[in-house]
Amino acid sequence: MAEKTHKKAAKKAAGMLRLRWFRSAIQAPIKHKRVVRGLGFTHLNQIVEREDTPSIRGMVNKVPHLVEIVDGAK
């Protein structure tokens, strides 16, 4: 059991971001909708975990009005 918690802590330390889709993309341009979909969101107020890479950071920076970083280094 303690081994599982240790693995989760190591995963978080390895640079994971928790992202939340908090605003609807109904009136957003199609490119913004595709970015939200590319991040792995399927419904509103969903939280997903992604690796902290420059490409993921760039995707989040394209739609800061739709997606927020809940947890992770800012």
Please give the class, per CATH, of domain 15-71: alpha beta
pLDDT value at position 6? 55
Summarised one tens digit per residue, pLDDT across range 9-38 is: 555 557 999 999 999 999 999 999 999 999
How do the domains of the chain map onto residue ranges?
A: 15-71
pLDDT exceeds cutoff 90 at 7: no
Q: Beta 16-21 vs 47-51: how paired, if at all?
A: antiparallel
Summarised one tens digit per residue, pLDDT across range 37-67 is: 999 999 999 999 999 999 999 999 999 999 9
